[in-house]
A and B are shown apart, each in its own frame.
Chain A
Amino acid sequence: MDYRKKRNINQVVWFSTLRVMSFIVVAILFCILGFILYNGASAISWDFLTTMPQDGMTKGGILPAILGTFYLTIGAIIFAFPLGILSGIYLNEYAGKGWIVKLIRMMTNNLGAIPSIVFGLFGMALFVNKLKFGDSIIAGSLTLGLLVLPIVIRTTEEALKQIDDSFRTGSLALGATKFQTIIRVILPMAFPNIITGLILSIGRVSGETAPIMFTAVAYFLPHLPSSIYDQVMALPYHLYVVATSGTDIEASRPIAYGTAFVLIVIVLILNLSASWLRKFFGNKVKTNS
């Protein structure tokens, strides 16, 4: 009886510890979210979102930073999504088991592990200096695109892997070509998973600072960018400079909170829509079967 009692007490103690620690992790998240959202909410107004910064960034809005992040993200998406999805399809549907495929897979795996600052270094060496784009939207977009490329590939591959082979063989047996099978059968089925993964990766792109620091962004620009060869301001970099090196750090605190607020809201919206889509498609698939 003693042994049994002891081990049950042991279990209760350990389980409560695990529960408390898990609770702490969740609490930390809400702590960070709450802190930013609570402090940032007071800075947010229509003017804040739609006007230029003023007085050494202690007043005014963050319009150029919002637009800059938008442009950079769109640029990265245009570059990385088609390329990544096609590569993912190739790796999962076409590539055999040869050494070339192994090499490509190893390369993409390693590409995904490279720190973002290294992408920044590379973007600076290739796009800014070698190709002479200068600090520009296009250089930043390409760098960010490279950064999400492995994520897009992995998302696509994972989604395709989940589809049972019977669908492929079934379609082929009906006389469809491989191309038709992929376009008409496999991709529509994998679509929900691909799209949710891609939405989450947009969040990653829009929040990255290190890759664009030396390829695209400026501390402050009096004008909005007019071409893809212009420098831009961007939300994450704006938050960094306002928080650490403004002319008057105390006075620019509200701007920093507001910028962090906008960044968090972007991530929240993307995450919520991803999980909403997951639910939406999940129901749909159920009714189909």
Chain B
Amino acid sequence: MFIKRKYFFEYLWEGLLKISGGLTSVAILLIVIFLFSEGIGIFNNSAVEEGYSIIVGKDNDVENLSGEKIKDIFDQKIVSWKTLGTTIENHDSIMLLRLDDIASYVSENKIASDFSNLPQIIEQIMKDNPSVIGFLPSEYINKDSDYRILDLGKIKPKDFFFGKQWFPTAQPSPLFGVLPIVLGTLLVSLIAILIALPFGLAVAIYSAELASEKVAKLIRPVIELLAGIPSVVYGFFGLIVIVPLIQKLFNLDVGETALAGSIILAIMALPTIITIAQDAIMSTPRSMKEASLALGANKWQTIKKVIIPYSISGITAGVVLGIGRAIGETMAVLMVTGNAAVIPTTLLEPVRTIPATIAAELGEAPKGGAHYEALFALGCILFIFTLVINLIVEYISSKNKNKA
């Protein structure tokens, strides 16, 4: 009886453990499924804002208008049809027709109070003015009328991944070019690591090789604490101390710049770099160090010529992991970089990163809309970045294991 009960518990326990292990791996599958199913949806959205159509006169043979061109037209940056490769006899300058503009074409008392006659009015306007381009709610558009409905198609992957403009709420066609955001993320993170690397390496070498045991023991909790401070507190510190400092130092209008983000990220990436580099340095076999010292090399030469080369792959893993941390960091960056979605040219400009964009805009994006899905697609990009980084780290450390 005792034996039987014993085995019953044994099975129960093992089953419980297996279920837990299974659940954990299901979690990441769920994350991937949800992230990508929402993110892919962006390419099913039409390039024009939901519920609206873009119309031109029936003789207007303009084709292949990209989202960016449409935006320029309605921002009145493009004012002539000729620049778009179309000629319309005697009517070259582009005229805009939005709901608000209708009153400037016809007198207001002609419009019925419930807008029921709008389709006819629109048709009349289009007939009278061949150079008009209209952006109107689809409910007022007749499919078989005297004007042409421009089919812009769906949002193309090319426009998404390589588009240079991110205007998710622009009318009539929102622009979802993620290039500036992706470049901003990489720039801020790489600069952060460049700043953090020398300091991280210095602390790692110092506490592993130079410091007395007492000092080394003191440094450990400091690093742990540095890793433990919430990112929003770093962001707050950056906002209050570093941003004004940069503004004053470089005489800028605003201090919220890529540089501020990089500095904060550098501080935040330090613990990752230090712990991993330190582990790598400490794993150098004692015999190697002693052999070097016995050959007459002094301590610095041993560090430079033996310890660092030996632990270089561990240090690299730390650096790569640090980049991963920096790329994914949200709050601190959101608070100090100024969030301008332009391709960064200098460090003293505001930039915007992927996580900051998601955090700043998800709250305002209507659920299920193109903007919402674009933000999920950004999340997918971020996910793939971190996945690749993780794979690199795993590759480096597996190579390391083989060596040892």
Contacts and interface: CB of A to CB of B under 8 A. Distances in A.
A153 B23 CA distance: 12
Nearest to A268: B225
A13 B206 CA distance: 13
B199 A264 contact: no
B28 A126 contact: no
Contacts of B24: 83-84, 87, 104, 107-108, 111, 149-150, 153
A121 interface: yes
B103 interface: no
Contact of B38 (A110, A117, A125): A125
Nearest to A129: B367
Contacts of A239: 232-233, 236
Nearest to A275: B221
A149 B267 CA distance: 25
Given A122-B34, A126-B34, A209-B330, A7 B28 contact: no
Interface string A154-177: 000000000000000000000001
Say whether chain A's binding surface is mostly helix, strand, loop, or mixed: helix
B375 interface: yes
Given A15-B300, A117-B328, A177-B6, A204 B382 contact: no
B226 A29 contact: yes
Interface residues of A, number: 87
Interface in B27-74: 27-31, 34-35, 38
Given A22-B203, A200-B224, A87 B230 contact: no
B282 to A, nearest CB: 16
A1 interface: no
B237 interface: yes
Contact of B231 (A8, A25, A209): A209
Contact of B362 (A94, A214, A243, A260): A214
Interface of A: 7-8, 10-11, 14-15, 17-19, 21-22, 24-26, 28-29, 32-33, 35-36, 82-84, 86-87, 89-91, 93-95, 103-104, 107-111, 113-122, 124-126, 129-130, 146, 149-150, 153, 177-180, 200, 203-204, 206-210, 213-214, 236-237, 239-240, 243-244, 256, 260, 263-264, 267-268, 270-271, 274-275
Given A210-B359, A236-B230, 15 more contacts: A8-B298, A11-B298, A26-B222, A110-B386, A115-B383, A121-B376, A122-B35, A179-B9, A206-B230, A209-B330, A243-B239, A256-B236, A263-B232, A267-B228, A268-B225
27 contacts: A8-B298, A18-B206, A21-B206, A22-B202, A25-B199, A33-B225, A95-B21, A104-B21, A109-B394, A111-B28, A111-B31, A114-B386, A115-B355, A115-B386, A117-B355, A120-B358, A121-B38, A125-B38, A153-B24, A179-B9, A179-B14, A209-B232, A210-B359, A236-B331, A260-B236, A270-B228, A271-B221
